[in-house]
Structure 1
Amino acid sequence: MAADPSRDRIDNGSRLWTLATAALALLPLLLQIPAALASAIGLAAVLVTALSWRKPMPAILRLLLALLVLAAVFSQMGFRFGRDTGCALLAAMIAIKPSETSTLRDARSLIGFALFAPFSAFLLDQGPLTMLLGLLSVLCALVTLQRLADVESGSLDSGTKPLPALAAVGKLVGIGLPLALSMFWLFPRLGSPLWGVPERALGRPGLSDNMTPGEWLDLMADDTPALRAEFFGAPPAPQEMYWRGPVLWDFDGRSWSQPRWMRQLPAQPVGSRNSTWDYQIEFEPTDRRQLVALDLPRAAPSGAFLSQDYGLYSATPLNALTRWRLQSSPPATFQVRLDAATRRRALALPAGYNPRTVALAQQWRREAGTNDAAIVRRALDWVKREFGYTLDTPLPGRNGVDEFLFDEKKGYCQHFSSSFVVLMRAAGVPARVVTGFAGGIRNPFGNYWVVRNMDAHAWAEVWLAGRGWVRVDPTAAVAPERIYDTIEDRLGAGTGGLGSQLATLDGFSDWMRRGWNDLVLGFNAERQQRLLQPFGMDRLDGGRLGMLFGVFALSALAWMGWLLARGERERDPLLRAWHRLGLRYARLGLGRQPHEPALDWAERVARARPQSADTLIPLSRRFAQARYAGAVGDAALLNDLRRHRP
């Protein structure tokens, strides 16, 4: 006899559960890809669901739809393959998968396919929100699969509520939780991964080894954290918080860049002052190797190195959250002797650019003689007297420095630092551009400092005889009354009232995120080896850690086996209630023997306790009929068995 295909058709209720599960699984992935693309994929999912609700879409239409979403992904991401491109393609495929979902088998396939989404989201973000959404999607998937199984077996009642299924899933999670925790806390971790994580097609926000004035607005409008810093002792004043990043030497008339080979040169000698800042930074992933440190770090931490100009670099790409313990001191002297090759590079300018700037610098040199410090002071006085700060600036032309210094006289840190260094070099003062972050916000909840991407900053260093490289920040020289347009203004940062409450909420949220980073993301091999320090054990070597994991894992497996075996024996709630009834009589010495039929046991109890005969014998008869004779309609039997007491 041919199978009836209608029996496998999915009902509307199960379809809604399946689609809701797929949407919940897709959500954490959509939050990690570009907003425009995520909106398009979400809209496509809604459209596909509406068009295929009554019957599957035709194959040719599904093919055209697949080509359309592929074109949308590659138009947004470009033909650059990486983690984010692959995740976007996965999200697009899940969005159009409901177009062929009409049977129970299709629903199971959609759920299994959709569960790849939350796990893929961890390739792009490992924050608590991604984890929470991932766990919710897995729980929802288990509940939905239970419902589909009930539909297929014919045991799903129209009035069935999801709470019993959710309770059953909760029990399964509880059974497996001890093993999962032992895997996380005790399974031996390697100090370095066995394989690398693929690069991203779209770069994360962060500092680069090149800078073009006018092109930092996207970075400066990003208020997400770049790093968090905890000080062990007194922190520096906010105006001293210059987080040193890439040092840029070469100028082509428009852009500044850093020669990669200079990273390999040994760090130059520094004469430090007595004050020292001891701190730890928690650096957000950027997929680059560039780190930052307070100006200037005394030494590179393990896993990093210092370049000649005291840029700090990681030995491996920063594709995950990392922690670095550092010490820094403000320099008293920094590379007092400048060799001829370095001097030539620090004075180099492209020929034929910015003639007005070059002429002014040469005039200042003739008037100042050999006094380089006087030229620096004269430039800063000029900035304070005539220049303003604004983000609303036109893109520079061929002679961008001339346009800024003599025509616009308004800009932000890129314009100030670039033009200042060109002016100094034209006057014969060795100078270079330094990029990084400036300042930070203290979070009162955890007593640490948050440095955001919007704190990105560029300043200058000039070389002065007897002192070496000296930091000069021409942007800070702008008079307060000529600060017209800032990032805070554009982001609508309020003062007092609602703005203060939002700042408090943001601080609490970041403190929670930092706790997550410390508890979960920061639990590496080194911390695992120190896991039992509170109990007097300094370190766990590989052998002892493996033995400890084996003990806990075997205990967890034994727990799982016992619960599963117990549940297998008493899966029927009616049988569980009957066994518990027998246990209550067993406390009186009248327990049922394994070989004893229900009615025989009830009659034996009645002879010993006549007062139980009127209730126990009818209950036993009803149980035997329901259990062995297939009787139906006795809905009160389960409750009667639970309520009966000897």
Structure 2
Amino acid sequence: MAHPSQILDPSSRGWALATAGLALLPLLLILPSTLALGFGLTAVVVAALAWRAPLPGWLRLLLTLAMLAAVFATMGTRLGRDTGCALLAAMLAIKPAEAHSLRDARSLLGFSLFAPFAAFLLDQGPMVMVLGLVAALCALLTLQRLADAENQAPPLPLRQRMGVMARLVGIGLPLAMAAFWLFPRLGSPLWGVPERALARPGLSDSMEPGAWGELMSDDSPALRASFRGDPPPPEQMYWRGPVLWQFDGRAWTRLRWLDGLPMPEVRAQGTTWDYEIEMEATDRRQLVALDLPTAAPAGSRLGFDHSLTAERPLSAPSRWRLRSSPPAQFEPELRPALRAIALDLPGGRNPRTLALARQWREEAGGDDAAIATRALEWIRAEFAYTLDVPLPGRDAVDEFLFGTKEGYCEHFSSAYTVLMRAAGIPARVVTGYVGGYRNPFGGYWVVRRMDAHAWVEVWLEGHGWVRVDPTAAVAPERIYDTLEQRRNAARSGTGMELLRLDNLGDLTDWLRRGWNDLVLGFDAGRQQALLSPLGLQHLRPTQLLAMFAALAALALAGMIWVLARGERERDPLLRAWRRLGRHYAKLGLGRAPHEPALAWAGRVAAAHPASGPALLALSRRFAAARYAARETQTHRLVEDLRRHRP
């Protein structure tokens, strides 16, 4: 049982619980919505039930088991960063069940501060940073409140507590800035960070029915592109990603071993696009580039089929400088082994598609282009685009071509590729993104995850691989109309209010891009560029460490001096009185160590009648507060002493 003097008063408990809630908030905003809602409601209910007395042990154990079951039911048994963060949120949600004493409140605060730091493992956005800073500042205010309660002193007004907090932040700020600007940027972390248990939406090296449903409904940015020169026309904005060769009757997968083959011959057209893309974090290695990239930027590899792969998982936003040119001929000579792979189909699947392809081959003879065109005309005439499609059965292509005749890019590209292979035309599926819209604030192009797309490349004699987009034959507005054009069409009848909301979204994305550039993108190159105006170029990591150590030593010395000064004199009233004496000492009227306050004020009044009356009044109030305890508003006297000048 805690001593009565250590029991939390309602005000201090409210501060502690509110601070814990603020610390938990950034983590809840990142976790899956079902878990976040459950944890938030649990935290509120537990805090209300435990307001007067701690919850019994059996109830806390039951809550703990229920929270663990919820986490593993949502995320599975595979441990990852998000699983660990969810467990931390669960424990923090039930921690108020035992917040009864001052010691419990301090434990709650210390435990809750892990939450915003854990949130950075999942998202490094500005919102998480702002919420984390607010939680840390509130924790300082609450700790000061708990210190006053422990000393049984009346709590300071909020304004004064915020002043103390600001001084504490100011003391540590130089060391934090020195660490951010000068500590050497590492190419990889010092320890291994586990992967996520739940994958982020994004491109992968496989495509199977229903896997793209979540991706096609996600309007968050996938990448941002800035062009040095004119951007490509909308019909050329195909952002090439993984190329899928192998089909097992249900899923298309990428053949990684092909990347070890010599690069195929590519004859580019005269147009070249020079641009920079900023990829959002996906925790995968897949990169995209305009069709076709001419070379791989540093930190990536260009595959045999001209798909880009990063050397490390994209766990944070990253920038890539690229050049692309549309191909005039792409691998005009196809090797027999690759032809066999590009014609391979699983046996015993989709018999109606195979029969139709054989019929078309007999009718067209050796004209592959005629078969490809005939398939596009059929799709354009009889098929429809929709995202609401059921999962297919065993013969998925037959069901699509001869049954539903409705779907989205995943269905169109898969069925078209199977149809071409069955007709003896080498074909493969290419995944990536298509389109984008120009942000008017930054002048850059935004490609969202909902712009994910799959198209087909067929190999034609004399041309090599040729892009064919069967989805565009059905719904060209889905492919060639940019999001901005669609949004402008929506604005025309909705008035100025929606126009302002849309502009707010563009402004928010522009600010997020600036955050990625200035904070998250502050890498070794940016660090060198920061120091180059000082004549410090091409510094080695040891030199950067030496500079950081020097500035850190100065910052620590300043912190020690300020803290020691406050330690030498804890009484704010005595500090203000001695500070007043130093002001008069500059005029040769300093107080002698043996001189009483009133005697010193009388001597100054005799020498300087203009300042004497005010100083005498302050001296009487100081003596009454210091020795007779007659001054009830000590904080007002401290402010008056600080404001007085000779």
Same fold (TM over 0.5): yes
**Is the aligned partner of 1:463 residue 2:459?**
yes
SS in 1 for 2:491: coil
1:249-398 counterparts in 2 under 5 A?
249-398=245-394
In structure 2, what is the Cα distance between the partners aligned to 1:39 and 1:492? 35
Q: For residue 513 of structure 1, what is the aligned residue in structure 2? A: 512
Q: For residue 82 of structure 1, what is the aligned residue in structure 2? A: 80
Q: For residue 42 of structure 2, what is the aligned residue in structure 1? A: 44
**Is the aligned partner of 1:423 residue 2:419?**
yes
C-alpha contact 1:220 1:487 (8 A) present in aligned 2: no
Q: For residue 203 of structure 1, what is the aligned residue in structure 2? A: 199
Q: In the TM superposition, what is the alpha-carbon distance from 1:449 to its structure 2 partner?
A: 1.1
In structure 2, what is the Cα distance between the partners aligned to 1:549 and 1:46? 44
C-alpha contact 1:586 1:592 (8 A) present in aligned 2: yes
1:307 partner amino acid? G
1:129-168 counterparts in 2 under 5 A?
129-157=127-155, 160-168=156-164
In structure 2, what is the Cα distance between the partners aligned to 1:481 and 1:604? 90
SS in 2 for 1:462: strand
SS in 2 for 1:531: helix
2:19 partner amino acid? T
Q: For residue 585 of structure 1, what is the aligned residue in structure 2? A: 584
Structure 2 CA distance for partners of 1:288 and 1:598, relative to 1, 3 Å: same
Structure 2 CA distance for partners of 1:398 and 1:448, relative to 1, 3 Å: same
When structure 1 is superposed on structure 2, of 487-496 and 551-560 the one drifting more is: 487-496
Instruction: Output one character per residue of 1:16-37: Cα deviation in whole Å (capped at 9) or x when no partner.
Output: 1110000000001111110001
With the length of structure 1 as denominator, give the TM-score of the two structures: 0.93
C-alpha contact 1:209 1:257 (8 A) present in aligned 2: yes
SS in 2 for 1:10: coil
2:449 partner amino acid? N
Structure 2 CA distance for partners of 1:514 and 1:604, relative to 1, 3 Å: same
Aligned pair partner of 1:414 in 397, 400, 410? 410
Instruction: Output one character per residue of 1:351-403: Cα deviation in whole Å (capped at 9) or x when no partner.
Output: 22222211111111111111111111111111222222111222222222122
Q: For residue 397 of structure 2, what is the aligned residue in structure 1? A: 401
Q: In the TM superposition, what is the alpha-carbon distance from 1:405 to its structure 2 partner?
A: 1.5
In structure 2, what is the Cα distance between the partners aligned to 1:318 and 1:287? 5
C-alpha contact 1:530 1:539 (8 A) present in aligned 2: no
2:510 partner amino acid? W
In structure 1, what is the Cα distance between the partners aligned to 2:166 and 2:221? 36
C-alpha contact 2:427 2:458 (8 A) present in aligned 1: yes
Q: For residue 549 of structure 2, what is the aligned residue in structure 1? A: 550
1:582 partner amino acid? G
Structure 2 CA distance for partners of 1:59 and 1:587, relative to 1, 3 Å: same
**Is the aligned partner of 1:112 residue 2:114?**
no
**Is the aligned partner of 1:93 residue 2:61?**
no
Instruction: Output one character per residue of 1:196-226: Cα deviation in whole Å (capped at 9) or x when no partner.
Output: 3211100011111111234311110011111
Q: In the TM superposition, what is the alpha-carbon distance from 1:89 to its structure 2 partner?
A: 0.5
C-alpha contact 1:387 1:482 (8 A) present in aligned 2: no
C-alpha contact 1:211 1:256 (8 A) present in aligned 2: yes
2:18 partner amino acid? A
SS in 2 for 1:620: helix
When structure 1 is superposed on structure 2, of 84-93 and 569-578 the one drifting more is: 569-578
Structure 2 CA distance for partners of 1:4 and 1:134, relative to 1, 3 Å: closer
In structure 2, what is the Cα distance between the partners aligned to 1:387 and 1:327? 36
Instruction: Output one character per residue of 1:101-121: Cα deviation in whole Å (capped at 9) or x when no partner.
Output: 110100000010011100000
In structure 2, what is the Cα distance between the partners aligned to 1:440 and 1:217? 19
SS in 1 for 2:334: coil
Q: For residue 574 of structure 1, what is the aligned residue in structure 2? A: 573
Q: For residue 123 of structure 1, what is the aligned residue in structure 2? A: 121
Q: In the TM superposition, what is the alpha-carbon distance from 1:552 to its structure 2 partner?
A: 2.6
Q: In the TM superposition, what is the alpha-carbon distance from 1:593 to its structure 2 partner?
A: 2.8
2:339 partner amino acid? R
In structure 2, what is the Cα distance between the partners aligned to 1:490 and 1:596? 82
When structure 1 is superposed on structure 2, of 70-79 and 377-386 the one drifting more is: 377-386
When structure 1 is superposed on structure 2, of 574-583 and 98-107 the one drifting more is: 574-583
In structure 1, what is the Cα distance between the partners aligned to 2:306 and 2:610? 92
Structure 2 CA distance for partners of 1:124 and 1:633, relative to 1, 3 Å: closer
Structure 2 CA distance for partners of 1:23 and 1:560, relative to 1, 3 Å: same
In structure 2, what is the Cα distance between the partners aligned to 1:482 and 1:199? 34
C-alpha contact 1:221 1:487 (8 A) present in aligned 2: no
In structure 2, what is the Cα distance between the partners aligned to 1:131 and 1:611? 53
1:98 partner amino acid? P
Q: For residue 103 of structure 1, what is the aligned residue in structure 2? A: 101
In structure 1, what is the Cα distance between the partners aligned to 2:292 and 2:269? 11
2:426 partner amino acid? P
In structure 2, what is the Cα distance between the partners aligned to 1:639 and 1:405? 83
In structure 1, what is the Cα distance between the partners aligned to 2:441 and 2:343? 47
Q: In the TM superposition, what is the alpha-carbon distance from 1:535 to its structure 2 partner?
A: 4.3
1:444-483 counterparts in 2 under 5 A?
444-478=440-474
When structure 1 is superposed on structure 2, of 316-325 and 201-210 the one drifting more is: 316-325
**Is the aligned partner of 1:58 residue 2:56?**
yes
Q: In the TM superposition, what is the alpha-carbon distance from 1:621 to its structure 2 partner?
A: 4.3
1:171-210 counterparts in 2 under 5 A?
171-210=167-206
When structure 1 is superposed on structure 2, of 550-559 and 129-138 the one drifting more is: 550-559
In structure 1, what is the Cα distance between the partners aligned to 2:398 and 2:600? 105
In structure 2, what is the Cα distance between the partners aligned to 1:341 and 1:4? 79
1:367 partner amino acid? E
Q: In the TM superposition, what is the alpha-carbon distance from 1:553 to its structure 2 partner?
A: 2.3
Instruction: Output one character per residue of 1:287-308: Cα deviation in whole Å (capped at 9) or x when no partner.
Output: 1111111111111111211221
SS in 2 for 1:469: strand
1:59 partner amino acid? G
Structure 2 CA distance for partners of 1:644 and 1:53, relative to 1, 3 Å: closer
In structure 1, what is the Cα distance between the partners aligned to 2:435 and 2:62? 52
Instruction: Output one character per residue of 1:231-267: Cα deviation in whole Å (capped at 9) or x when no partner.
Output: 1122111221111111111112222112232333343
C-alpha contact 1:531 1:539 (8 A) present in aligned 2: no
With the length of structure 2 as denominator, give the TM-score of the two structures: 0.93
Q: For residue 11 of structure 1, what is the aligned residue in structure 2? A: 9
In structure 2, what is the Cα distance between the partners aligned to 1:220 and 1:303? 29
Aligned residues: 640
1:124 partner amino acid? L
C-alpha contact 2:249 2:395 (8 A) present in aligned 1: yes
**Is the aligned partner of 1:561 residue 2:560?**
yes
C-alpha contact 1:266 1:307 (8 A) present in aligned 2: no
CA RMSD of aligned residues (A): 2.6
Gaps of 5+ in 2: none
Structure 2 CA distance for partners of 1:357 and 1:504, relative to 1, 3 Å: same
C-alpha contact 2:430 2:454 (8 A) present in aligned 1: yes
C-alpha contact 1:529 1:541 (8 A) present in aligned 2: no
In structure 1, what is the Cα distance between the partners aligned to 2:373 and 2:193? 49
SS in 2 for 1:151: helix
Q: In the TM superposition, what is the alpha-carbon distance from 1:478 to its structure 2 partner?
A: 1.5
In structure 1, what is the Cα distance between the partners aligned to 2:97 and 2:487? 41
C-alpha contact 1:214 1:415 (8 A) present in aligned 2: no
SS in 1 for 2:530: coil
C-alpha contact 2:285 2:313 (8 A) present in aligned 1: yes
Q: For residue 525 of structure 1, what is the aligned residue in structure 2? A: 524
Instruction: Output one character per residue of 1:151-190: Cα deviation in whole Å (capped at 9) or x when no partner.
Output: 1101124xx5322111210111011111110110011222
